[in-house]
Homo-oligomer: A and B are copies of this chain.
Amino acid sequence: MQNDLAVSMIITAWKGQNKKLDEMIASYGDEQWRKETSPGRNTGYYLLGHLAAVNDHIIQLLGLGNRLHPELEEPFLKKPDRSGTPSQSIAELKACWKEINDFLYGRIAAMQPADWFEPHTAVSAEDFAKEPHRNKLNILISRTVHQGYHLGQLTYLK
């Protein structure tokens, strides 16, 4: 019972961070997304692609299927901002973000509390036996904090 509650609290926290980005998407214009969050730092555009790519990766880490937009990995995860010219438009990144989250929300709703304590897909059985915290729930905790980190920067586009 408490176990269910802890899981649902973490899912709620993660969704809360997603919702904050949804609100920025609803309110920022293209000009704002193109701006740097601080002089010489990541642009809003890059962080939007980055957060979409990170959520896309969650699909794989939770074993819910293949990523929906693996093309985001190279420009928004592997490479830093301004290292190339990503082909995605701001509108396309917003659409990816929505598609990825709609998919995740549906699949996460079907998960049972105990599922969250299973190993995520990037940990070996051996490592998991020694480090049981490397489970699916921890993916969501770390990604929630990661979103908070970049939302703190994206708020500077206001």
Contact = CB atoms under 8 A, between A and B. Distances in A.
Interface of A: 2-3, 5-10, 12-13, 16-17, 37-39, 41, 113-114, 117, 132-133, 135, 137-138, 141-142, 144-153, 156
Chain A facing B: main interface SS: helix
A6 B8 CA distance: 11
A132 B8 CA distance: 11
Contact of A13 (B6, B145, B151): B145
B141 A9 contact: yes
Given A9-B141, A38-B39, 4 more contacts: A39-B39, A148-B149, A148-B152, A149-B151
Nearest to A117: B2
